[in-house]
A and B are shown apart, each in its own frame.
Chain A
Amino acid sequence: MDRANLNSQLEHLQSKYVGTGHADTSKYEWGVNQARDTYASYVGHYPMMSYFALAENESIARVKFNITEKMVQPCGPPPERRE
């Protein structure tokens, strides 16, 4: 398998699955993907939501909202890009 082919496959993969990474993925990118995946998973599992709601003493809808909000820049602003 030549390199170009591998890269094009990777590109395709990346376009299908945002969370996949490559050799140059930074800590920040990986962290963001992890966080988004995590929150998306929580929202998708109702028992988890109700457990968090209980723990936080909030309504389930509120917890859900908070988590969804957090998915925007879950780890804060991106680091300065070094050129």
Chain B
Amino acid sequence: MADDDISAQIKAEQEKRAKDSSTQRDDTRVSLTGVGYDQDIYGSGNKFEGYSTSLPMDDDDDEEDELTQRAAQKKLSSYTAPKEVYAHLTSVEDEDHDPFAGRSESKRVIDRQDDYHKRGYNRALSPSRQDAFAKDQGAAGSEARTYAEVMRETELEREQQRVLQKIAEKKKEAQKATGQEAPPPPTPTGRKRRWDVATPVIAPATTSSWNEPDDHVAAPTNRWEETPKADVKKRNRWDETPVASNSSSWDATPRASSGVAETPTAKRSRWDETPVAPSGMFGATPMAGQLGMVTPHLAVPMTPEAMNAQRWEHEIDMRNRPLTDDDLDAMFPTTGYRILEQPATYTPIRTPGRKLTATPTPYTGNGFMMQDENLKQNYGITPTELEVPGGGNLPFFKQDDMQHFGKLLDEKDESSMSAEDIKERKIMRLLLKIKNGTPAMRKAALRTITDKARDYGAGPLFNQILPLLMSPTLEDQERHLLVKVIDRILYKLDDLVRPFVHKILVVIEPLLIDEDYYARVEGREIISNLSKAAGLATMIATMRPDIDHADEYVRNTTARAFSVVASALGIPALLPFLKAVCNSKKSWQARHTGIKIVQQIAILLGCAILPHLKNLVDAIAKGLEDEQQKVRTIASLAIAALAEAAHPYGIESFHSVLKPLWSGIKKHRGKGLAAFLKAIGYIIPLMEEEYANFYTKEVMPILIREFQSPDEEMKKIVLKVVKQCAGTDGVSPQYIKEEILPEFFKNFWVRRMALDRRNYKQLVETTVELAQKVGVTEIVSRIVEDLKDESEPYRKMVMETIEKVVTQLGAADVDGRLEEVLIDGILYAFQEQTTEDIVMLNGFGTVVNALGYRSKVYLPQITSTILWRLNNKSAKVRQQAADLISRIAIVMKTCGEEKLMGHLGLVLFEYLGEEYPEVLGSILGALKAIVNVIGMSSMTPPIKDLLPRLTPILKNRHEKVQENNIDLVGRIADRGAEFVSAREWMRVCFELLDMLKAHKKGIRRAAVNTFGYIAKAIGPQDVLATLLNNLKVQERQNRVCTTVAIAIVAETCAPFTVLPALMNEYRVPELNVQNGVLKSLAWVFEYIGEMGKDYIYAVTPLLEDALMDRDLVHRQTACTTVKHMSLGVVGLGCEDALLHLLNFVWPNIFETSPHVINAVMDAIDALAVALGPATILQYVVQGLFHPARKVREIYWKIYNNMYIGAQDGVIPFYPSIDNDDVNRYERSELFYVV
């Protein structure tokens, strides 16, 4: 092909595209091919002024180099903005105005928690516990409590709770008796509610999620595990000693032996007992102040925020109190006003119920607080940046931080403070830096606090961290950081944490039920570390009192925490305790929690429970026959979880529970039954055939009965169990056909099921499972008519089921009649769809493909539908039609419908003018599918017509269009390049250059590969010239892709066709070009591997030059080239050249720029492979004991790399060291000569 021919062509092309490229550039550079058209493409000579001239080579290495380079570059002469922008800027008053302020989601943790989660804030950070293992018992401070004390307290709380509830009930009854209406129950408002009023009596009836406490962490308030009030009637333990009967062994701790002596006098009346005021900062017992039944006092610990909020509220109440007559008199002038009589119909509010809901009596707690005068008052101005004394500049300091960290700002002299105070301030400063600091500050502070953790001591540290974590203004990021602090210091503190275990748990446990997966993982990690640091005994002693805590929230989180402990310390360690708890006679809550722990262990550990399965099952077996409904339910759920975790092993462990489960499903109704069914459902798949068959037959009548249950939860469980039963080997298809299917389809295959996402999924799954047993025809024939149903979601569900069934089982079973109905239904459903959904398309494709040759008869009909729809007004319809073509192209080929396809191809070709990019992308995809199937030579339209039509579409910027188009063009270049003229291919090449800056990697890769195909088709010269010119563009990504393309061209057309031009281009005195050449060389040598041995001597002089260049990037890229080169030629006798190159690489070892030094190290490593470690050792030995540390460091680094790579290989080459007076260094074995 003649050069001028091409360039004329290109010029024409060029004029079309770049109208503004006016001046010709006078070319001073030497170009191999000497074609001049590049000047048109890239405009005049000074176009690149102001751009970086270096070519940073790796993906992420450009930042640093470019910054330094750019500083030296000329700045743009002026910047300017449109007038409107200035006008707008002046019109905006507030500079800091954030237009998104009102829209962004709050980052605070509390704002996205529901009421149940907020119950975590109601827990108190109890005083420290005594460390039972500590040598001196008072170590943790005077307020540290012992286990026995804590147990007594919990007992007391529960008792109190029970009494309060009972009183409330009595009141209610009394009111009922007098016929008065009870006052409306106070609305439970998350945070305000204390645990002891949050009894289920007033719990709102929300939708229960009772059957999924396991997989659903964000549990709603009303759960079935909650305290049932029915229970209270049965047991009257008012007079009983509230202390544990010492007969039960599991709560016996080292100190419990004195239990009898410590029993509070049994008859002591609680009414006259003054509650003990908490001595520490945190109240021991949270108590109710509102009900007036106990002496009200502030026991609930108040964080400074809460206190502050309280004060505010109080103040606002005061200001908004009703105005008295005196007030009004004072306000209004005495004359000109007349006091009106109140209307006769007016009655003031007298009903006590309404009064109750009126303004609450001001809280009697810390109503007034002295403001600390030393605190800097900021009078409403939020300091955005703040200098903390000794802390450096913080990026921000929020108003909320003032509560915790205000102390730091009081500017007191530290020298006059006690050691304790100084320590406290130090910790505070570190925490503030961690919380608010820049990443660097945070890192340093975190390291300091970790290193000094033991010096600071557990007490001072946790006393500051934990309140921060309980703060209601906490944000996600802060929580993460503080949790991280705890994690780090836990390692260091080790057994010192023991007294604080409970406090930490109170703070961390809520993380276990957080919505955020990562928060849960973080929580688990902390608890796991905590249990490793504190030890099992401490963990049990600490958490034991919470197991039968009155609040369900506490029990729930405690159970989860216990399961984490089990995973950290091993199940066997915890088993005796679990057994005892699950059999607790004292309270059903304890049994409930114990069983729940087992359930959580099963969920958390999965198949790791297998070795202990028998023990775990036995521990909870009794729970199935518990007197408490809730215990029975959780027990069966736990069994289900265990069976699920054990699948498919471990049936023998479940023998003991089969009978109770069995009798259970016969006895129970409703939710209890569902739980039992769930357990059975999970056990049946573990059974052997016969048993499975037997049990399935037994359980099926019950299941079929429950098919009709209106309860959604029951529906889901029943579906699941049916799926599990059907999946077992023992169940015969006959049985399913006769007994299950009729009822199943009658009850479940209804439109309503398609509306709920989870029902939908479960139903599809179960039906597919049934199809596995009974075959395609049985299922499909039952639902196929529904493809024409009028509800679209239902049609979708039918289609999805058919698709899945056909995918798994094929369509061989489908008879002629069904086939017809099926295709008819699918066509109907496909045409009627209104939402853009992949389901219909997939279904269509799957069924047609499964039918294979049998779909031949329907193809004309399908094709005419497609043709009709391709012409539709709606873009979506056209897109779906085109997508469908790409799905069925293969089947059309199978059916021998080439003619039809040719026709389709022509039609699609006509539609290439489509304006909607999504549709155009699909049309291109369809064309690609057809070309792939019928081949280049028989394609209609002929390739020589098709490709010129595609070239302009390459300009389209839409990703889908680009991707499909480049795939198609690449395919043609690969298989059918000869159908198109070289000129056209050059035109494609130019368009492809723009593709190199696509965002999507797939597009860039396809473009680069296409260069290779084109070069193969029309010879590398012209393509290469284009590419080499592209090295001059300023855009880095473009250049990098160009270098890759050059390398691919070199690979496909053999390196000798490319290397001369490439090396010649290195003579262009432009950094970008030279670096591009070097980078291309690196790629070339990487791709050609050992073929490189023929070219190594040719490029060595070039590399010599590059390795001696002043420019860092030159040397870096040259080192990369050396690396690939030497790895390619290992063992091929090129050592002389490589050694020569090593001498040029070596002086670069003292480079400090990370990318350069990494490249140099890589090169040396690669040379160590190619030259053998001995050579490198000789170089390295020179500097290992150099007087300068800097030299020694880098030499040892190289030594280590070499040593790790070839420990054994260097042994014969170690220098022999002379013996001295004391030491013998000689190793003489290798000197033996026989």
Check B37 for interface membership: any CB of A closer than 8 A.
Answer: no
CB–CB B1232/A52 < 8 A: yes
Task: Tell me which residues across on chain B come within 8 A of A31, comparing CB atoms.
Answer: 1217, 1223, 1225
A41 with B1222: in contact, given A21-B1200, A27-B1185, A35-B1227 (CB under 8 Å)?
no
- Determine if A38 and B1204 form an interchain contact, defined as CB atoms under 8 angstroms apart: no
Closest Cβ–Cβ distance, residue B1168 to chain A (whole Å)? 15
B1211 interface contact, C-beta 8 A: yes
A20 in contact (CB, < 8 A):
yes
A36 to chain B: closest CB distance in Å?
11
* Smallest beta-carbon distance A24→chain B, Å: 8
* Contact between A54 and B1203, CB atoms less than 8 A apart: no
Task: Say whether, besides A31-B1223, A75-B1223, A21 and B1232 are in contact (CB < 8 Å).
Answer: no
Contact of B93 with A by CB under 8 A: no
Q: Which of A13, A30, A55, A79 has the most CB of B within 10 A?
A: A30
In chain B between 1187 and 1208, which residues have their CB closer than 8 angstroms to a CB of chain A?
1189, 1192-1193, 1196, 1199-1200, 1203-1204, 1207-1208
Q: CA of A17 to CA of B1204 in the docked complex: distance in angstroms? A: 8
Contact of A28 among B1154, B1214, B1223 (CB under 8 A): B1223
Question: How many whole Å from A53's CB to the nearest CB in chain B?
Answer: 10
Interface centre among A17, A23, A75, by most chain B C-beta atoms within 10 angstroms, is A23
Contacts of B1223 in A (CB 8 A): 28, 31, 75-77, 79
In contact, B1196 and A23 (Cβ under 8 angstroms): yes
Q: Are A34 and B1214 in contact (CB under 8 A)?
A: yes
Interface: B1224 (CB within 8 A): yes
Are B1234 and A23 in touch, CB under 8 angstroms? no
Q: Closest CB-CB distance, B122 to chain A, in whole Å?
A: 42
Q: Give the interface size bracket for B toward A.
A: 20 to 34
From A23, A42, A54, B1193 is in contact (CB under 8 Å) with A23
A27 x B1217 contact (CB < 8 A): yes
Q: Is B272 an interface residue (CB 8 A)?
A: no
Contact B1217 A37 (CB under 8 A): no
Does A19 contact B1214, Cβ atoms closer than 8 Å?
no
What CA separation (Å) do A78 and B1076 show in the bound complex? 54
Once A and B bind, how many residue pairs between them come within 8 Å at the CB atom?
70
Contact, CB under 8 Å: B1196 / A1: no
B950 to A: closest C-beta gap in Å: 48
Question: Counting CB contacts under 8 A, is A46 at the interface?
Answer: no
Contact in complex: A54, B1234 (CB < 8 Å):
yes
* Residues on B with beta carbons closer than 8 Å to the beta carbon of A52: 1229, 1232
Which secondary structure dominates where chain A touches chain B? Answer: helix
List the B side residues contacting A37 at CB < 8 Å.
Answer: 1207-1208, 1211
Is A51 part of the binding interface, using a Cβ–Cβ cutoff of 8 Å?
yes
Tell me how far the C-beta of B758 lies from the nearest C-beta in chain A, rounded to whole angstroms. Answer: 47
Complex alpha-carbon distance, A52 and B1208, angstroms: 18
CA distance A11 to B1217 in the complex (A): 27
A17 touches B1203 (CB 8 A): yes
Chain A residues whose C-beta falls within 8 Å of the C-beta of B1214 in the assembled complex = 34, 38
A15 located at the interface, meaning its Cβ lies under 8 Å from any Cβ of chain B in the complex: no
Q: Is the C-beta of A22 less than 8 angstroms from some C-beta in chain B?
A: yes
The answer to whether B1192 touches A23, judged by C-beta atoms less than 8 angstroms apart, is yes
Assembled-state Cα–Cα distance A20/B1203 (Å): 7
| A25 smallest CB distance to B (angstroms) | 7
In the bound complex, do residue B1222 and residue A1 qualify as a contact, i.e. CB atoms below 8 Å apart?
no
Task: Give residues of chain B (1214-1234) contacting chain A, Cβ–Cβ below 8 Å.
Answer: 1214, 1217, 1222-1225, 1227, 1229, 1232-1234
Given A35-B1225, A75-B1223, answer yes or no on A19-B1207 (Cβ-Cβ < 8 Å). yes
Considering only CB atoms, which chain B residue lies closest to A22 in the complex? B1196
Task: List chain A residues, Cβ under 8 A from B1154.
Answer: 1
B601–chain A nearest beta-carbon distance, Å: 34
B window 134-149: CB within 8 A of A: none
Bound complex: CA A28 to CA B1224 (Å): 10
Whether the Cβ atoms of A21 and B1225 lie closer than 8 Å is no
Chain A neighbourhood of B1199, CB < 8 A = 20-21
Task: Tell me, in angstroms, the Cα distance from A35 to B1230 when the chains sit together.
Answer: 12
Report which of A23, A42, A44, A76 forms a contact with B1222, defined as CB distance below 8 A. Answer: A76
Cβ of A22: which chain B residues have Cβ within 8 Å of it? 1193, 1196
List B1159-1181 residues whose CB lies under 8 Å from chain A.
Answer: none
Task: From A13, A17, A41, give the contact of B1208 (CB < 8 A).
Answer: A41
Chain B residues contacting A13 (CB-CB under 8 Å) are: 1200, 1204
Asked whether A23 lies within 8 Å of B1189 as measured between CB atoms, the reply is yes
Complex CA–CA separation, A34 to B1185 (angstroms): 15
1/0 per residue, CB under 8 A from B, across A46-58: the answer is 0010011011100
Query: Interface readout for B614-652 with A: 1 if CB under 8 Å, 0 if not?
Result: 000000000000000000000000000000000000000
Beta-carbon nearest neighbor of A55 in chain B = B1232
Q: What is the CA–CA distance of A56 and B1234 in the complex, to the nearest angstrom?
A: 10
Which listed residue (B1211, B1225, B1234) contacts A55, Cβ 8 A?
B1234
Whether A38 pairs with B1222 at a CB distance below 8 angstroms is no
Residue ID in chain A nearest B1195 by CB atoms: A23
For the complex formed, measure the closest distance between the CB of A35 and the CB atoms of chain B, giving whole angstroms.
6
Are B1189's CB and A76's CB within 8 A? no
Within the complex, the shortest CB–CB distance from A4 to chain B, in Å, comes to 8
Q: Tell me the complex Cα distance, A2–B1154, Å.
A: 10
Separation of A75 and B1227 alpha carbons in the complex (Å) = 10
* Most chain A beta-carbon neighbours within 10 Å: one of B1208, B1224, B1229, B1234: B1229
Taking CB atoms and an 8 Å cut-off, the chain B residues in 924-953 that contact chain A are none
**Distance between Cα atoms of A22 and B1185 in the complex (Å):** 10
Determine whether the beta carbon of A38 is less than 8 Å from that of B1217: no
- In the complex, what residue of chain B is closest to A44 when comparing beta carbons? B1208
Establish whether residues A20 and B1204, one from each chain, have CB atoms under 8 Å apart when the complex forms: yes
Q: Which residues of B contact A77 (CB under 8 A)?
A: 1222-1223
Task: List B contacts of A19 (CB < 8 A).
Answer: 1203, 1207
Task: Report the separation of the CA atoms of residues A37 and B1211 in the bound assembly, to the nearest whole angstrom.
Answer: 7
Docked Cα-Cα span, A68 to B1193, in Å, equals: 32
Which B residues, 581 to 602, have Cβ-Cβ distances below 8 Å to chain A? none
- Chain B 1142-1159 per-residue mask, 1 if CB under 8 angstroms from chain A, else 0: 000000000000100000
With both chains docked as a complex, state the minimum distance between the C-beta of B281 and any C-beta of chain A, in angstroms. Answer: 37
In the complex, how many angstroms separate the beta carbon of B1212 from the nearest chain A beta carbon?
Answer: 9
Q: Which residue of A27, A30, A41 contacts B1211 across the interface (Cβ within 8 Å)?
A: A41
Contacts A25-B1196, A31-B1217, A55-B1234 given; does A79 touch B1203 at CB 8 Å: no
| Nearest A-chain residue to B1188, judged by Cβ | A23
B1207 CB → nearest A CB, Å = 6
Min CB distance, B1184 to chain A, in Å? 8
A21 and B1193 alpha carbons, distance in the complex (Å): 9
Report chain B residues within 8 Å CB of A48.
Answer: 1229
CA distance A31 to B1222 in the complex (A): 13
> Which residues from chain B contact A41 at a C-beta distance below 8 Å?
1207-1208, 1211
**CB atoms of A38 and B1211 under 8 A apart:** yes
What are the residues of chain B within 8 A of A38 when measuring CB–CB? 1211, 1214, 1227, 1229
Q: Find the residue from A37, A44, A48 having the highest chain B CB count within 10 A.
A: A37
Q: List 28 A-B contacts (CB under 8 A).
A: A1-B1154, A17-B1200, A17-B1204, A19-B1203, A20-B1203, A21-B1184, A21-B1196, A22-B1196, A23-B1192, A23-B1196, A25-B1196, A27-B1185, A30-B1184, A31-B1217, A34-B1227, A35-B1227, A37-B1207, A38-B1227, A38-B1229, A41-B1211, A51-B1234, A52-B1232, A55-B1232, A55-B1234, A75-B1223, A76-B1223, A77-B1222, A79-B1222
Interface residues in chain B, defined as those with a beta carbon under 8 Å from any beta carbon in chain A: 1154, 1184-1185, 1189, 1192-1193, 1196, 1199-1200, 1203-1204, 1207-1208, 1211, 1214, 1217, 1222-1225, 1227, 1229, 1232-1234
Q: A27-B1185, A37-B1207, A51-B1234 are in contact. List 6 more A-B contacts (CB 8 A).
A: A17-B1203, A17-B1204, A22-B1196, A25-B1184, A48-B1229, A56-B1232
Could you list which residues of chain A lie within 8 angstroms of chain B, going by C-beta atoms? 1, 13, 17, 19-23, 25, 27-28, 30-31, 34-35, 37-38, 41-42, 44, 48, 51-52, 54-56, 67, 75-77, 79
Nearest 8 A-B pairs (CB), nearest first? A55-B1232, A23-B1192, A20-B1200, A76-B1223, A75-B1223, A23-B1193, A31-B1225, A41-B1211
